[in-house]
Structure 1
């Protein structure tokens, strides 16, 4: 489910624009002038090719027909942004565990911690992008980096506001101090100049061309103490007008949840203070100083005064904090809607893409916020993670036209889309897999389909894919990968590797084929593959009797080599009597008894010798001629020796 349209390549966005535009492709070559066709490939890729009305089997080699492959440019696949993807994945998984562990509890502290982790990751990403942009000499690449900086700055700004309004559990729902902090952090237009003027601490600072703009900017941001400190740097600070304004600012009441006053009591105090300020304005006490008069008009909440300074700022967002401070300093979360509407309705209020993101957030229209952030060309990172944390906080509720709650479906669809996108990258696919498997049952099913399409050209890559699939319980994928890789090794004659992959994938058929090939190779060449592997195979040998036979036969050779002849003889007899050996291998097993029958000390008992003789007669077709006669003679001699040995033992 997607509230927005398909996003376009972020490289085409300008520095001050985060919304994508449609892109037109001009098809090269004359081959596309006839009949062009298109087909989707894996992921966000498609191919365009010319489709002729007739097909000729004898097409000339100089044909200009071609296939044009087109794919979406994924912003998150940039080397710098991959760190953002990996680190945010860890926070996402930690958030899911926290939400699951405290499902029925108010867990806002954990949610706030994870939200701040997300913002910290974004800030580090912005710093890395700024560092890379400062070192970049190529114009196009530098412009792309600057575009990324703009995008992620907007993301962090919106996320911070949503954190204040919807994630943090603000005492008394009094959000104004946090709103002022947000304005100061994200719109520091006069911060640096105020610091310079205060550090210089020189009388006559009004000579600086930005002095009054800085003072007014501090008032607009609700930083009255800083504005008072700047006014004291004016050469006329000891005059009556300046003292009057300073006393008014000094006596301004500040609302606090823990101040001991109720909202009603504070409102009375506040209105009394503003009435005094208006009386000073009415008395024309500061008319001789237009800037001071403007300050008094601002602190009394004069709409026209705020409107007159709005042209100095790019957006009404700069004055939102100041307007709220001087008109409704007791404002709670739900009352910010009126403040935002008043500021946005002022004449000259600028409008930007960031404005379209922030106003719905302030007004509590989270469904519109999700819609707008889906237009950002970050390939769904922001929409996925913000929606997820808002859903866990219980703040997001979206209804369809039938008034059905589709919030959970929206969250899952965003996570699935983002996870599927990550699966397309050569090294980020484990990240995508973790997102897909966080949305059962559709996510694991989709993960199985996408994992099966991952190229596993090397054993290392196949082991990585199989291990990740095993971690999430995708056993069908593990078996499929092991079968494919094992079959590849089997066709290449690497029987030990094929058998190992068959055991890893618990595939009896592959184990049987590999073991059978190994046994045939031994009968033909006299060498046993996978001799080092099989002793550690464990229960994998039980997958098929062919693998079991191969494993036990390797054990026989190991015992024989270590001169443990009695154990080797006992194991060989068990292989003969179990009748699990194929017809072509009986000759090998029977001939292996010959050196043991001729050993200095008898290692076969009389009963074992009779078993060998029975097998020799029953498998007459497996061993004939001179070798069969030699084996019969050896059995007869060993039978005599074993009987004598048994008699001595009885005596």
Structure 2
């Protein structure tokens, strides 16, 4: 590989690229010798069991090593560069690898730090293109689910925005190019201009050949229009020069300009310039000849009326007979010799057409205009072959020309195959989508191996859309666009989406909410749980326990909820504070169905009753926590110690039934094989960390004695009910 375009260091890289113009590969991202680095994410690059077709040999330019290092020197030292691609993050891991086993190599290989370095790189997205990417995704999402046949109007209304968007971006690039002259950004803008220019031409040609319904317009007319839009710059400049001249017909470029315009079907331009020349002409003979030529041009049968007028072919033949008659008339001799070529083109003379055209596209357009203007699209094969053999025989055909030829041949599969090698994956993704909707990408007898070695379980259209989504995956601001493309690519796209979306950076609360809503609305339940778990962990670190618990409940991670509750209880045991309003915030006013949250809520309620001396309500709350087993057993001992002040109150708080229940709970704690765990959750003022389990059990005797005394009182007196009034 000669180079990788638009490469920047990964966000995972340990060291960033230098700010100078040298290669970004000049500094290591991960050093394998450092044991402190987390290499968990490097498995694709480090796994020796990877399949050979997953790792490809790469030679990078500029070199990632010292200046002057060559591939030959790596070979002599038994080294090469290898890479592994991770689709989920669109990253390439690049590293040095031996070509032969050490025992097979005749010279002892000296290892260097560079032999133990992995470079991570990622394609970057030019910021100037992001508005175009976003706008075109909106067009894609509005058209891809519509049927161009059953919902033709709605489909066409949205589809037309494709061409408008491409043209709009092309104009923006032209304006930017004028502002960036002789700057460092001029080269990248120029390259982007060429890419979009090619995309614009290919996209419109595809529309003319494949998507024009019922052949409503002649191909000859549409092709002339296409050439006028995409290859007219020189003609426009020449037209401006000619209009400034007093004697236009004397300009040596006058007739070549006329011929070029006629070949392109630019009849109005030709008639204007000849009419101007006629007004300036002083010679009657020349003026008469120009007037006759002008009459012939005005008499060209209108292609626009072809469908409504079935006699076009006969009228065209009659008109050409008049042209041939003028070619033999003495009037023509009063004009420049090149005027004869003009008439020969109008008569459909192939030799004249080929002599005056510079490309196979110009020749094709001219032949269709002047030999057979109503030729159906499906029947231009022989004419196309003639033009190709005339201009491209023995020459290296460019990729863009191959794409255009495949489109003229109406071979959708071949066109998509060539577009897959184009500089920008945007084209093939959206072109494949549109052709698929119109039924031109028939998968029968065709596998993805015909286009790629990937072999994904998906169709052609989905494969290229997924590939495009991966190409922009390095920009976190485009996550909604990426997700939208993957969502519309069947099972394979949804599978990739469910994994990738869990790695979208949640760098703001608003973005986190958007990602969660997207997963919920699109039934990505596993991803929804994973993202909620990640957010919950971050919220817990920030001390936002109510939000942490909500996200853990949404993630169905009951263990995490229990952990937050335990952390809050440990905080309470340490400093004696458990403010529900501060710690759990909105949870206190929401219906959150979770046993751990319910325990914390009820325990906080018990603490508030106790602090406000509502002893009866506090006692009932405490008994409910124990008897209804709303409190985990590891907190029973704590609750029993919490009961001590109520047991010793001058008013009888617990009746006999409640006292028996407290005694039962006490015996379950003491008799449990897990009593050492249960007795750990005690505040420091009752038992320090160094106190043994046996000593903690002895401390429970104080509770037992209080319960016995309370039972004796309860058998004689009725419980106090003052708090309930």
Cα offsets for 1:175-195 (capped at 9, x unmatched): 333333222211223553476
2:585 corresponds to = 532
**2:144 and 2:433 in contact (8 A); partners too:** no
Matches within 5 A, 1:638-649: none
1:28 and 2:65 correspond: yes
Cα offsets for 1:40-98 (capped at 9, x unmatched): 253340221467969xxxxx999665414153645xx1111222222222222222332
Matches within 5 A, 1:265-414: 265-289=311-335, 290-311=337-358, 315-346=359-390, 352-378=398-424, 380-397=425-442, 399-400=444-445, 409-414=459-464
Cα offsets for 1:236-281 (capped at 9, x unmatched): 385221122122222222244577422xx22122111111211221
Matches within 5 A, 1:3-18: 9-10=4-5
**1:174 and 1:330 in contact (8 A); partners too:** yes
2:693 corresponds to = none
From 249, 269, 274, the counterpart of 1:226: 269
Structure 1: where are the runs of 5+ without partners?
Answer: 1-5, 13-21, 55-59
From 119, 131, 134, the counterpart of 1:69: 119
Q: Report the 3-state secondary structure (helix = DSSP H, G, I; strand = E; otherwise coil) of the residue aligned with 1:45.
A: strand
**2:616 and 2:721 in contact (8 A); partners too:** no
**2:204 and 2:226 in contact (8 A); partners too:** yes
1:148 corresponds to = 192
- Name whichever of 290-299 and 452-461 sits farther off: 452-461
**1:221 and 1:321 in contact (8 A); partners too:** yes
- Name whichever of 90-99 and 128-137 sits farther off: 128-137
1:185 and 2:229 correspond: yes
- CA root-mean-square deviation: 4.3
Cα shift at 1:547:
2.8
Distance 1:169 1:300, change over 3 A: same
CA distance in 2 between partners of 1:616 and 1:203 (Å): 118
CA distance in 1 between partners of 2:194 and 2:618 (Å): 75
Cα offsets for 1:292-342 (capped at 9, x unmatched): 32221111111111122124xxx3323443332211222332234344334
**1:112 and 1:163 in contact (8 A); partners too:** no
Distance 1:638 1:149, change over 3 A: farther
1:166 corresponds to = 210
1:217 corresponds to = 260
**1:486 and 1:501 in contact (8 A); partners too:** yes
1:423 corresponds to = 473
CA distance in 2 between partners of 1:414 and 1:466 (Å): 27
- Name whichever of 362-371 and 205-214 sits farther off: 205-214
1:610 and 2:657 correspond: yes
CA distance in 2 between partners of 1:612 and 1:352 (Å): 93
Cα shift at 1:465:
4.8
Q: Report the 3-state secondary structure (helix = DSSP H, G, I; strand = E; otherwise coil) of the residue aligned with 2:160.
A: helix
1:511 corresponds to = 561
**1:173 and 1:332 in contact (8 A); partners too:** no
Scaled by the length of structure 2, the TM-score of the pair is 0.72
1:47 corresponds to = 94
Cα shift at 1:153:
0.4
Distance 1:518 1:643, change over 3 A: closer
- The answer to which structure, 1 or 2, has the higher relative contact order (CA under 8 A, 6+ apart) is 1
Cα shift at 1:229:
1.9
**1:307 and 1:348 in contact (8 A); partners too:** no
- Name whichever of 136-145 and 82-91 sits farther off: 136-145
CA distance in 2 between partners of 1:642 and 1:133 (Å): 93
Scaled by the length of structure 1, the TM-score of the pair is 0.79
- Name whichever of 163-172 and 275-284 sits farther off: 163-172
CA distance in 2 between partners of 1:610 and 1:182 (Å): 94
CA distance in 2 between partners of 1:167 and 1:642 (Å): 91
CA distance in 1 between partners of 2:612 and 2:379 (Å): 87
CA distance in 2 between partners of 1:215 and 1:485 (Å): 69
Matches within 5 A, 1:492-511: 498-511=548-561
CA distance in 1 between partners of 2:112 and 2:400 (Å): 53
1:549 corresponds to = 599
Cα offsets for 1:434-461 (capped at 9, x unmatched): 2222122122222233344556688777
1:17 corresponds to = none
CA distance in 1 between partners of 2:612 and 2:539 (Å): 31
Cα offsets for 1:143-163 (capped at 9, x unmatched): 222111111100110101111
1:134 and 2:178 correspond: yes
**1:80 and 1:128 in contact (8 A); partners too:** no
CA distance in 2 between partners of 1:37 and 1:240 (Å): 75
Distance 1:11 1:584, change over 3 A: closer
Distance 1:62 1:72, change over 3 A: closer
1:478 corresponds to = 528
Q: Report the 3-state secondary structure (helix = DSSP H, G, I; strand = E; otherwise coil) of the residue aligned with 1:304.
A: helix
- Name whichever of 347-356 and 211-220 sits farther off: 347-356
Q: Report the 3-state secondary structure (helix = DSSP H, G, I; strand = E; otherwise coil) of the residue aligned with 2:281.
A: coil
Distance 1:317 1:259, change over 3 A: closer
Cα shift at 1:502:
1.2
**2:616 and 2:720 in contact (8 A); partners too:** no
CA distance in 2 between partners of 1:483 and 1:347 (Å): 63
CA distance in 2 between partners of 1:175 and 1:516 (Å): 76
CA distance in 1 between partners of 2:402 and 2:479 (Å): 33
Structure 2: where are the runs of 5+ without partners?
Answer: 8-57, 104-109, 452-456, 671-678, 680-698
**2:529 and 2:555 in contact (8 A); partners too:** yes
Q: Report the 3-state secondary structure (helix = DSSP H, G, I; strand = E; otherwise coil) of the residue aligned with 2:146.
A: helix
Q: Report the 3-state secondary structure (helix = DSSP H, G, I; strand = E; otherwise coil) of the residue aligned with 1:553.
A: helix
2:134 corresponds to = 86
CA distance in 2 between partners of 1:291 and 1:39 (Å): 60
- Name whichever of 513-522 and 363-372 sits farther off: 513-522
